[in-house]
């Protein structure tokens, strides 16, 4: 059944909050990217972005992802992280929410001397945005992304996708593939989606690494341990179902608390995703609202 005019009214409070989140995020993305230089601390950059989001009236939708070289997603500094940027490819993936309505964006800052790889994901996103309109199938968007990245002589990362954004949900349907697929969802007016091409000079697939600093609530539950209980209270009240970093937890022995919660299937982790063969990965991402004549980019 078709949605009513009220349900897709792009002036509604829901869409205004998506726009507000996007406006904050666009500013923070640019300010944060300017701070990425050789010798600068990863933790300093992540905390700058997260604090700046709050200063501007939003909340982080997930911990700032700082992915280096072969890393593609889910890398964020630990509380005592002393890593600094080198001559590397740096992907910043940042999210903002306003009352649970989200915006998601990413940019590559190339310190590695591989500007064409960064340009490939950027131009793939531009091509994808040009074909977005009501009725377009997500596989067609993936075909545009794949065509541009192939044209640069690189491969899209095929087992990572863009995604819908829901209320207090970072990843919802539809998925937006980074390659041509024969079957996909059809975009409709009012859909809010994040399109995020990943390009690599490797084979085009990522796998899970051992490192894990980002978690999210899996289900409601109870635990006897005091630290785990304190952590769970903060998670359910402050983060709800959105991802959070170990370093955000205010309880002492946060890592132990998370191990207990994970063992009880109350939270799940997000292992760092990295290119299969250790090759470089670039990324570019915008959040859009599908409109009657195309799309509105909220994070531009």
Q: What is the CATH number of the domain that holds 63?
A: 3.90.230.10
Q: What is the CATH number of the domain that holds 226?
A: 1.10.10.10
The counts of H helices and E strands in the chain are 6, 17
Q: Are residues 87 and 55 in the same domain?
A: yes
Give the pLDDT confidence score for residue 1 in this predicted structure: 38
Q: Is 196 a catalytic residue?
A: yes
How much is the pLDDT for 183? Answer: 83
User: Where is the binding site for a divalent metal cation, in residues?
Assistant: 93, 104, 163, 196, 285
Q: Is residue 6 part of a domain?
A: no
39 and 165 within one domain: yes
* 236 and 266 belong to one structural domain: yes
ω into 174 cis (within 30 of 0):
yes
Cα separation, 294 vs 276, in Å, equals 36
What confidence score (pLDDT) does residue 8 get?
57
Give me the catalytic one of 93, 140, 191, 213: 93
Total domains, the chain: 2
User: Following DSSP, what letter does each residue of 222-289 receive, concatenated?
Assistant: --SSHHHHHHHHHIIIIITTS-EEGGG--SSSHHHHHHHHHHTTSEEEEPPEEETTS--EEE-BEEEE
pTM summary value = 0.94
150 and 182 together in one domain:
yes
Annotation marks residue 171 as catalytic: yes
Q: Does residue 83 share a domain with residue 184?
A: yes
Classify burial at 80, counting beta carbons within 10 Å of its beta carbon; exposed 0-12, middle 13-18, buried 19 or more: exposed
Catalytic residue among 196, 230, 275, 296: 196
Residue 249: inside a domain: yes
- Residue-level pLDDT at 6: 52
268 in active site: no
Cβ contact 190:8 at 8 Å? yes
Is 163 an annotated catalytic residue? Answer: yes
User: Binding site membership for substrate: which residues?
Assistant: 74, 171
Which residue in the list 47, 81, 137, 171 is annotated as catalytic?
171
- Is residue 93 flagged as an active site residue? yes
Same domain, 50 and 20: yes
Active-site entry in 18, 97, 163, 286: 163
**Candidate list 146, 275, 285, 296, residue with the active-site label:** 285
The boundaries of the domain holding residue 258 are 214-270
Has residue 3 been placed in a domain?
A: no
Is residue 42 among the annotated active site residues?
no
Sign of the alpha-carbon dihedral angle for 27, 31, 36, 39? negative
From first to last of the 300 residues of the chain, give the pLDDT tens digit.
Answer: 344 555 557 679 999 999 999 999 999 999 999 999 999 999 999 999 999 999 999 999 999 999 999 999 999 999 999 999 999 999 999 999 999 999 999 999 999 999 999 999 999 999 999 999 999 999 999 999 999 999 999 999 999 999 999 999 999 999 999 999 988 899 999 999 999 999 999 999 999 998 999 999 999 999 999 999 999 999 999 999 999 999 999 999 999 999 999 999 999 999 999 999 999 999 999 999 999 999 999 999
- One domain, residues 104 and 37: yes
């Amino acid at each position: 059944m078709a949605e009513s005019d009220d349900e897709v009214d792009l002036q509604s409070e829901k869409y205004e909050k998506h726009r507000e989140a996007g406006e904050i995020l666009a500013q923070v993305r640019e300010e944060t990217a300017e701070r990425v230089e050789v010798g600068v601390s990863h933790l300093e950059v992540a905390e700058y972005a997260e604090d700046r989001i709050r200063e501007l009236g939003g909340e982080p939708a997930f911990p700032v992802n700082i992915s280096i070289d072969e890393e593609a997603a889910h890398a964020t500094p630990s509380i005592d992280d002393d890593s600094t940027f080198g001559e590397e490819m740096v992907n910043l993936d940042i999210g903002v929410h306003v009352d649970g309505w989200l915006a998601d964006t990413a940019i590559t800052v190339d310190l590695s001397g591989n500007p064409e790889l960064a340009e490939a994901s950027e131009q793939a996103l531009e091509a994808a945005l040009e074909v977005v309109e009501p009725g377009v199938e997500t596989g067609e968007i993936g075909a545009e992304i794949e065509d541009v990245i192939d044209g640069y002589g690189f491969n899209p990362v095929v087992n990572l996708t863009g995604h819908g954004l829901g209320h207090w949900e970072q990843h919802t349907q539809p998925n937006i593939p980074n390659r041509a697929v024969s079957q996909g969802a059809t975009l409709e007016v009012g859909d809010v989606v994040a399109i995020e091409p990943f390009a690599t000079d490797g084979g085009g697939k990522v796998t899970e690494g051992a490192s894990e600093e980002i978690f999210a609530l899996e289900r409601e539950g109870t635990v006897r341990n005091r630290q785990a209980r304190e952590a769970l209270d903060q998670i359910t009240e402050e983060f709800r179902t959105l991802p959070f970093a170990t370093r955000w937890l205010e309880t002492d022995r946060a890592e132990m608390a998370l191990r207990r919660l994970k063992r009880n299937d109350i939270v799940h982790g997000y292992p760092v995703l990295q290119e299969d063969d250790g090759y470089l990965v670039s990324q570019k991402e915008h959040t859009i609202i599908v409109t009657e004549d195309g799309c509105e980019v909220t994070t531009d």
